[in-house]
Amino acid sequence: MASGLYAKARKAFLDGDMDWLVDVFKVVLIDVADYTVDLAAHDFLDDVAAGARVGTPVTLTCQSVGNGVADATNATLTAVTGDPCEAILIYKFVTNDADSIPVAYIDGITVTPNGGDITIAWDNGASRIFSL
């Protein structure tokens, strides 16, 4: 599966129900052996098996927007253990998995946790994290 934005998040951004600069967004690593992404059908975080989420989610900081492109400060997940990961999931955190909304699925990474910190360095080019 290619990287992309979840349909529910896209709609929420366009309807003005989700604000990259105001809402709380978190990022977590994903083991694709335990999760098959469905950008059209998965509308809440509880659609993503808890076992597929590796490490403790980190809240994004210093979000910014320019020309329809979302950016934030690089994120560091601390003391990560668990299965190898091949993707990143960004989601809007509400109060629990049943209410939190997956926003972006970014694949094409490979990282094997070893108990150390893992830093997610966002692209500094025109694409940044994602664009609408």
What lies within 8 Å, CB to CB, of 84 at 6+ separation is 31, 110, 111, 112, 113
Instruction: Give the pLDDT score at 1.
Output: 57
User: Which tens digits make up the pLDDT trace of 74-121?
Assistant: 999 999 999 999 999 999 999 999 999 999 999 999 999 999 999 999
Domain boundaries, the chain: 4-123
The residues, ordered by sequence, that sit 6+ positions from 48 with a Cβ below 8 Å of its Cβ are: 30, 35, 42, 89, 102
Neighbours of 2 (CB within 10 A): 9
- pTM, two decimals, is 0.95
Residues β-bridged to residue 102: 91
125 band by pLDDT with thresholds 50, 70 and 90: confident
Nearest-5° angle of CA 23, CA 53, CA 93? 15
pLDDT digits 0-9 by tens, 52-83: 999 999 999 999 998 889 999 999 999 999 99
